[in-house]
């Protein structure tokens, strides 16, 4: 496949891993003439060394080839709205996706709503329902920070592993755009808050070969993903090529881009605090079969169980895509991302540390959540070498 998912073969695909595909693509295919920058800026080096790794986490993305499942059914005496399978885009798309799900809830005119799950999708679904005037109770096996969503990198990546090119249903691209724009709009209202849940950051895309030169195809078992982000060109800043004396990185080709990032820890806390402050309730409960939804007090249930839906519903369309992330000691002076094309490496400056995300061959379809520290150590060493 063409590595469209992670530091891919083209500038657009590289951006796809970062949530700025159209920006990089547009700037490159337009001849990269968007050079308006008037001089080098100070770039504090990332102190990327193995001894500064304070945490390594593994998480599986809930990928569905046909895109997220957002549909309702009448079963077990309830209206059940399924809302899961957001691949590598769950945080990014969450608000818009929640609004689509709410469109299936509201016609039933419930005053009380049950939401199963408190990951990115459950929490935002609950908040959108509260804003619509509903009383919401969340039921979940785990709550933040134990949910899988807590292990996400925290980038605006609305089209990351959101569906496969081959299985993309008719009309999906338009629905996706509506969800992405709706989410993006909500995120603009979360800027500048205490704890910086959402921030805009500059980033540097590095490459050993020119960005318009494709990387060799690899054999990691991943499908081709559609390049949807070009639809968002008007809301993504463009990227710029940098000359060798305009950056400190040991890489022959460098572009600067700008993207939105999420400080997952403070953002999750904000969502949970807002939910509780508006009268939301949360109950720890594990479901082993969907017929147990029939025992709930609420007549309408939104099933936001993410990868958990695979076991709960026996839904094999949910495919795990493993990802491992190391966290380095925070460096408040580092305010930029690094993405190294062809090396499966992205480093993101969050308030709780510098996240170093890697992707390995055979992560697609891999449900293994045990971590392999040596993989992260190699990634951190690769990152450190860029500043040597
Ligand atoms: C390494 C990595 C990096 C990522 N980076 C990004 C990123 O930068 N940007 C982005 O937008 N997305 C990113 N993602 C994708 C994003 O994290 C997912 O799409 C998102 O977490 C899915 O959220 P969710 O709420 O559906 O699932 P989860 O977070 O898994 O939440 C599911 C909830 O349901 C509950 N549950 C499950 N089964 C049951 C059950 N049987 N009974 C009761 N409760 C149950 C769980 O306890 C939990 O509360 C990344 C993913 C990975 C793996």
Residue nearest (by alpha carbon) to ligand 1 atom 22: 90
CA 326 to ligand 1 centroid distance, Å: 18
Distance CA 90, CA 159 (A): 10
Mean pLDDT of the chain: 90
The pLDDT-based confidence of 361 (bands split at 50, 70, 90) is confident
Q: Above pLDDT 70, what percent of the chain?
A: 89
CA 215 to ligand 1 centroid distance, Å: 30
Please work out whether the CB of residue 301 comes within 6 Å of at least one atom of ligand 1. no
pLDDT beyond 60 at 287: yes
Q: Which alpha helices (DSSP H) does 113-171 contain, by range?
A: 120-131
- DSSP annotation string for 176-237: HHHHHHHHHHHHHTTBT-TT-SEEEEEEEEEESS-TTSPPPP--SSPPP----GGGGGGGSP
E strand map for the chain: 53-63, 69-75, 78-84, 112-116, 135-140, 198-207, 240-242, 253-262, 281-284, 300-303, 319-328, 336-340, 345-350, 353-358
**Bridging pattern class, strands 336-340 and 345-350:** antiparallel
pLDDT of residue 7: 41
Please work out whether the CB of residue 148 comes within 6 Å of at least one atom of ligand 1. yes
Say which residue, 2 or 106, is predicted with more confidence: 106
Residues 336-343 have a mean pLDDT of 95
Residue nearest (by alpha carbon) to ligand 1 atom 50: 152
pLDDT beyond 50 at 233: yes
Please work out whether the CB of residue 142 comes within 6 Å of at least one atom of ligand 1. yes
Q: Are 56 and 194 in contact (CB under 8 A)?
A: no
Residues 207-216 have a mean pLDDT of 92
Q: Which of 55, 152, 162 to mutate to test the pocket of ligand 1 (most atoms within 8 A of CB)?
A: 152
Which of 236, 97, 227, 92 shows the shortest CA–CA distance to 152? 92
28-32, 158-162, 310-314, 354-358: range with lowest mean pLDDT: 28-32
pLDDT of residue 39: 54
Please report, for residues 90, 102, 178, 310, the alpha-carbon distance to residue 290 in angstroms, rounded to integers and kept in the order given: 22, 20, 30, 12
Distance CA 93, CA 160 (A): 10
Looking at the chain, how many residues does it have? 388
CA 115 to ligand 1 centroid distance, Å: 14
pLDDT beyond 80 at 331: yes
pTM of the entire predicted model: 0.92
Provide the phi-psi class of 362: left if phi over 0, else alpha when psi is between -120 and 50, else beta.
Answer: left
CA 33 to ligand 1 centroid distance, Å: 39
Distance CA 3, CA 317 (A): 21
**50-107 per-position pLDDT tens digit:** 999 999 999 999 999 999 999 999 999 999 999 999 999 999 999 999 999 999 999 9
Distance CA 149, CA 118 (A): 9
**173-210 per-position pLDDT tens digit:** 999 999 999 999 999 999 999 999 999 999 999 999 99
The pLDDT-based confidence of 316 (bands split at 50, 70, 90) is very high
CA 230 to ligand 1 centroid distance, Å: 25
Q: Is the peptide bond before 38 cis (omega within 30 degrees of 0)?
A: no
> What atom of ligand 1 comes closest to residue 307's alpha carbon?
30
111-120, 208-217, 334-343: range with lowest mean pLDDT: 208-217
Q: Are 320 and 366 in contact (CB under 8 A)?
A: yes
Distance CA 325, CA 323 (A): 7
CA 318 to ligand 1 centroid distance, Å: 12
Residues 224-239 have a mean pLDDT of 95
Residue nearest (by alpha carbon) to ligand 1 atom 38: 308
The pLDDT-based confidence of 8 (bands split at 50, 70, 90) is very low
Please work out whether the CB of residue 286 comes within 6 Å of at least one atom of ligand 1. yes
pLDDT beyond 60 at 17: no
Q: Which of 19, 141, 146, 199 to mutate to test the pocket of ligand 1 (most atoms within 8 A of CB)?
A: 141
């Amino acid at each position: 496949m063409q590595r469209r998912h992670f530091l891919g073969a083209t500038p657009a695909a590289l951006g796809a891993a970062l949530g700025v595909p159209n920006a990089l693509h547009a700037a490159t295919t337009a001849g990269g003439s968007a050079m308006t920058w008037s001089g080098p800026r100070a770039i504090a080096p990332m102190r990327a060394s193995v001894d500064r790794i304070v945490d390594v986490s593994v998480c599986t993305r809930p990928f569905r080839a046909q895109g997220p499942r957002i549909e309702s059914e009448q079963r077990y005496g309830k209206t059940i709205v399924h809302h899961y399978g957001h691949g590598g885009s769950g945080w990014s798309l969450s608000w818009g996706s929640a609004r689509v799900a709410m469109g299936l809830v509201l016609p039933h005119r419930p005053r009380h709503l049950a939401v199963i799950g408190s990951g990115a999708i459950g929490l935002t679904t609950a908040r959108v329902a509260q804003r619509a005037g509903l009383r919401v109770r969340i039921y979940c096996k785990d709550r933040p920070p134990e949910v899988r969503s807590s292990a996400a990198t925290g980038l605006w990546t609305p089209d990351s592993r959101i569906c496969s090119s081959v299985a993309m249903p008719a009309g999906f691209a338009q629905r996706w755009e509506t969800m992405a724009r709706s989410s993006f709009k909500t995120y603009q209202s979360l800027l500048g808050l205490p704890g910086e849940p959402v921030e805009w950051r500059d980033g540097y895309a590095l490459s050993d070969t020119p960005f318009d030169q494709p990387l060799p195809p690899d054999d990691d078992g991943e499908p081709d993903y559609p390049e949807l982000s070009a639809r968002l060109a008007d809301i993504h800043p463009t990227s710029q090529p940098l000359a060798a004396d305009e950056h400190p990185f040991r890489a022959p080709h460098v572009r600067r881009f700008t993207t939105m990032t999420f400080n997952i820890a403070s953002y999750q806390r904000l969502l949970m605090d807002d939910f509780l402050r508006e009268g939301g309730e949360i109950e720890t409960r594990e479901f082993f079969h969907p017929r147990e939804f029939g025992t709930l007090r609420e007549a309408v249930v939104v099933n936001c169980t993410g990868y958990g839906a695979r076991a709960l519903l026996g839904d094999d369309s949910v495919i795990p895509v493993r990802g491992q992330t190391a966290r380095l000691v925070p460096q408040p002076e580092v305010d930029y991302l690094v993405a190294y094309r062809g090396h499966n490496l992205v480093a993101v400056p969050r308030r709780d540390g510098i996240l170093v995300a890697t992707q390995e061959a055979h992560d697609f379809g891999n449900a293994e959540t045990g971590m392999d520290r040596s993989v992260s150590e190699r990634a951190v060493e690769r990152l450190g070498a860029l500043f040597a």
